[in-house]
Chain A
Amino acid sequence: MAIAELTPPQIASRPEVALAAMQVVYKRPEALTEAYTHYCPGCSHGVIHRLIAEVIDELGIRERTIAVAPVGCAVLAYEYFTVDAAEAAHGRAPAMATGIKRVLPDRIVFTYQGDGDLASIGTNEIVHACARGELLTVIFVNNSLYGMTGGQMAPTTLPGQVTTSSPYGRDIRQQGWPLHITEMLAMMPGVAYAARRSTHAPAEIRKAKKAIELAFRAQIEGLGLGIVEILSSCPTNWGLSPMEALAFVRDKMVPVYPLGDFKVHQALAARA
């Protein structure tokens, strides 16, 4: 019996009919495991994991995707995706991913790296992976400090930002300016897609998903390396509530790290 034919009292007495008629708008993506994540309440890592999983599901590439996990808060990322995964030494995910992709060129390989991993100790690896034009997808999560080790200053820390190792705020005369790594990488011919997105609002999260999809398409279509930098909140180390932390991303990080596409390969431009 169709739900439209039922009167409210009938629905109340036969809720299984109503349940069967429900249209699923959102459910957990297949590319995520059932494991509970270890991330702090309100951390954007969980959102970004979910976006990657949704893109993997929608592209239908789960069975041939290989993840390379970083060192940092996301060090256990291999527990959370239902894809094969490897764990790289600190900053070396692009080097490890290069090896995997070259040995198994039909696989889809992505790295998931934080700013302490990619923009500091791993700068060399990501720059040369881009210079070689490796067919990889790089998800670069920028939360402006080293989260896992207790909130120390990173190359991406904002000018004046207080961290445990810059208690008076980052002084640009001593510690220099934040590193805009995605803009730098966008200059390189081997990079097919470079963009920066944020997670501070539902609309921005949806845009981030689109960018992740394009970064995967750049690899699938053999155009070059795709990198998406995603501004992420760190409520614990910023000493803010989850909502205040999203406001910090919007008000403090986005002015320093402007959102947008820095490079879109012309074969992807129609979809951007």
Chain B
Amino acid sequence: MAAKGTVVIDRNRCKGCELCVYHCPQHVLKLDETYNTRGYRPVILDERSGQCTGCAVCAVVCPDVVFTVYRFPQPVRTPAVRAVAN
């Protein structure tokens, strides 16, 4: 599955408020099962779906500026790119 965009998440900045999870139009964000260094369950991108469009709605609603949002010139395989980005 190819994605049009991706997000890079600043894991330790996230407070797990879930506003992005509810607002994401593609439903590709979810909370991690593990905790970050500050004791919150941070948001992660669900890579299996590969449907991120890079619309940046998550970045607009995020109170903690955890997202950097990218768009690809053409759809690419997200997990490979994210492996480098993270």
Contacts and interface: CB of A to CB of B under 8 A. Distances in A.
A23 B74 CA distance: 11
A25 B63 contact: no
A3 B61 contact: no
B72 A46 contact: no
Given A19-B81, A47-B63, A42 B17 contact: yes
Interface in A12-42: 12, 15-16, 18-19, 21-29, 32, 36-37, 39-42
B21 to A, nearest CB: 9
A41 B80 contact: no
B70 to A, nearest CB: 4
B30 interface: no
Given A242-B17, A246-B19, A19 B74 contact: no
B40 to A, nearest CB: 7
A37 B64 contact: yes
B19 A3 contact: no
Contact of A45 (B60, B63, B73, B76): B63
Interface string B51-86: 000101101111111011111111011001101110
Interface size class of A (residues with CB under 8 A): 35 or more
Given A242-B17, A243-B18, A22 B61 contact: no
A82 B67 CA distance: 19
Contacts, number: 109
Nearest to A53: B65
Given A242-B17, A242-B18, A11 B73 contact: no
19 contacts: A4-B74, A8-B76, A11-B80, A15-B84, A18-B77, A19-B81, A19-B85, A21-B73, A25-B54, A25-B69, A25-B71, A26-B67, A41-B63, A46-B65, A202-B57, A206-B60, A242-B17, A243-B22, A246-B19
Shortest 10 CB-CB contacts between residues of A and residues of B: A46-B63, A42-B17, A41-B15, A41-B17, A26-B69, A22-B70, A26-B59, A25-B69, A15-B84, A242-B17
Interface of A: 3-4, 8, 11-12, 15-16, 18-19, 21-29, 32, 36-37, 39-47, 50, 202, 205-206, 235, 241-243, 246
